[in-house]
Amino acid sequence: MSTATPHATRDAGKPSDAQDIPSFEAYGDGDWSSIAEEAARLGEERIVVNMGPQHPSTHGVLRLMLEIDGETVTEARAGIGYLHTGIEKNMEFRTWTQGVTYCTRMDYLAPFFQEVAFCLGVEKLLGITDDIPERASQIRVLLMELNRISSHLIALGTGGNEMGATTIMTTSFTAREEILRLFEAVTGLRMNHGFVRPGGVPQDLPPGFVADARAAMAKVRHYLGQLEKLMMENPIFKLRLVGVGHLNLSACMALGMTGPVLRSAGLPYDVRKSDPYCGYETYDFEVPVAQGADAYDRVVVRVAECYESLKIVDQVLERLEKGSGPVMVADKKIAWPAQMAIGTDGQGNSLDHIKEIMGTSMEALIHHFKLVTEGFRVPAGQVWQTVEAPRGELGVHLVSDGGTRPYRAHFRDPSFNNLQAVSMMCEGGQLADVVVAVASIDPVLGGVDR
């Protein structure tokens, strides 16, 4: 456990964890019409501001219904569902491998975490967790930690932009570009990769990738240093964030909060430490925490987590440089695409592999056809798998009836749980601080609505 204080000092007089928490009965549901009806029934004049549906700082479309008294927010309600895509239901009509292409699109700022969580769950059901090649797990860890940095950079950049700090946004996005170039080199795509597969990954890293990654990480470190100077000791930045969106540890526990919001309240809970996966127990890193439990401390924690992810990336690159080996499980009844390589036209499987399965082995051709079109069967059962995503604990519950498609796929997206705190963070505060509080949660509504 480490205390996340990257060259920063805090103002005194912060609310303590002993602060009274409003009763949860005070935070009901409802919509605009119910608020208006209640106001008419009571004969009161109430000012209700419909903030949204909007996109800024929420990475998706969120609606906030705010009742205000002057500039003070007296009631805050969150309205979700504007990005509903039916991803979980659609996964029931696709093979287990095709499911990766769906779940990667939920939280589109953290696609690799969803892919890994889903594939780890499928591998548990198949009983092949211990058969996954070590190099495949290393590549998964590398991509996830790079993704964690890129996601936090978006959180910092968009949050800064909402407060008028455009330089914070441009610096964050410039640093993120270095990481997205690496993703494109490995997967061919900047986002929504569909790269992680049950059994491993479809292909190894491209030649020269380790050197390119190290050069990119040097640039990312430089930009992170710039962001620290722009934010941590900036008096205007601190006036806007310190004391805003306060949510103490007891409230976090009651609401099921995870990720940087929980760690900003002092609890070093991280799935990578509490229930390691993909070999995380073999890497040296700390879990940054803070004590202020406000929007400023969430920035401090995210910056510190970026540096810890850089430490993990350095360790993974060293292992990848020294080692070699397969990146997909050996069982040909599961491994798909089989022996993937890029052809001379830059697409698809290599011509040599096509010639082999079509010209020398009819059985291989038939098997390849059935594996791609029908998919592999997964033993009946259910599994729960979690990973530590940028916004908190991401869980997947998979149910198999023994067929080639999931009977049920359900995800616990951290943004969905974290949005419960909007009312507790905003009520009693200023109207101008609502955007700051929401930005400190860093919700991605694609993951919320699914």
Residue range 100-118, pLDDT digits in tens:
989 898 888 999 999 999 9
pLDDT range class, residue 12, cuts 50, 70, 90: very low
62 has pLDDT over 80: yes
* pLDDT of 189 above 80: yes
User: Taking residues 359-383, what's their average pLDDT?
Assistant: 80
User: What is the model's pLDDT at position 350?
Assistant: 61
Residue 333 has pLDDT above 90, yes or no: no
Which residues lie below 8 Å from residue 227, measured CB to CB, with a gap of 6+? 156, 168, 171, 172, 175, 303
Residue-level pLDDT at 43: 62
The rounded distance, in Å, linking the Cα atoms of 410 and 395 is 8
Token look-up 């610096």 returns 171
- Report, as an integer, the average pLDDT of 14-34: 50
Q: Label residue 141 by pLDDT band (50, 70, 90).
A: very high
- pLDDT mean across residues, the chain: 83
Q: What is the DSSP letter of 26?
A: G
Give Cβ neighbours of residue 403 (< 8 Å, ≥ 6 apart).
377, 378
pLDDT beyond 60 at 28: no
* Predicted local confidence at residue 32, as pLDDT: 64
Token pair of 28 as six digits: 């009901």
- Element spanning 69, H or E: strand 62-69
Q: Which residues contact 336 (CB under 8 A, 6 or more apart)?
A: 97, 197, 199, 371, 372, 376
Q: Residue 95 above 60 pLDDT?
A: yes
Q: Which tokens belong to 303? A: 């910056």
Distances (CA, A) of 409 to 23, 84, 401, 405: 34, 16, 12, 10
Q: Are 1 and 287 in contact (CB under 8 A)?
A: yes
Put simply, whether the predicted model's pTM sits higher than 0.95 gets the answer no
Residue 333 contacts by C-beta under 8 Å, 6 or more apart in sequence?
367, 371, 376
Q: So what's the architecture of 83-336+375-449 in CATH?
A: Orthogonal Bundle (1.10)
At residue 176, the pLDDT reads 94
What span, in angstroms and rounded, lies between the C-alpha atoms of 88 and 82? 16
The answer to whether 120 touches 126, Cβ cutoff 8 Å, is no
Distance CA 362, CA 200 (A): 26
User: Among 66-80, 101-115, 178-192, which stretch is predicted with the lowest mean pLDDT?
Assistant: 66-80
CA 68 to chain centre: 32
Helices (H) and strands (E) in the chain, counts: 18, 8
The pLDDT of residue 339: 53
Lowest mean pLDDT segment, chosen from 67-76, 315-324, 343-352, 357-366: 343-352
Sign of CA pseudo-dihedral 166, 168, 174, 176: negative
Q: Please report the pLDDT score of residue 222 as a whole number.
A: 94
The answer to whether the CB of 96 falls within 8 A of the CB of 376 is yes
7 pLDDT more than 80? no
Residue of 268, 273, 246 whose CA lies nearest to 258: 268
Gap between the Cα atoms of 439 and 57, Å rounded: 5
| Domain residue limits, the chain | 83-336+375-449
Are 112 and 144 within 8 A, CB to CB? yes
Structure confidence at residue 10 (pLDDT): 47
In percent, how much of the chain has pLDDT > 90? Answer: 37
